[in-house]
Amino acid sequence: MMAKKYDAGRLATILLAPIVSEKGTHIADKHEQVIFKVAPDATKPEIKAAVEAMFKVQVESVQVANVGGKVKRFGRFTGRRRSWKKAYVCLKPGQEINFAAES
């Protein structure tokens, strides 16, 4: 399969933030996966291209999950948090992204 070329400006806006949590650390250790908060309109091929371009690693697969915003109360008013999308990026064996060293 031929890799599709994406606009570099578009790829820069796809990955919003890495998700660093207990669950994320456990998944990273056990399955060589990294979790990112991504743009709501991002597609799997775009996410793969963005991660490979930014971190110079090889991506095996990408799974995405849409996270619904929670309903929250503020006094007597109810509001809703924004929905967002997260991506589980599976790296090829031997590949690693270290966020602590890059800051």
pLDDT band at residue 95 using 50, 70 and 90 as cut-offs: confident
The model's pLDDT over 12-46, given as tens digits with 9 standing for 90+, comes to 899 999 999 999 889 888 888 999 999 999 999 99
Beta bridge mates, 36:
18, 87
List helix spans (H) across 1-103: 8-14, 22-31, 44-55, 99-102
Q: Which of 63-67, 70-74, 98-102 is predicted least confidently?
A: 98-102
C-alpha 19/C-alpha 5 separation (Å) is 26
Provide the whole-model pTM.
0.83
Structure confidence at residue 101 (pLDDT): 60
Whose tokens are 């790829």? That residue is 11
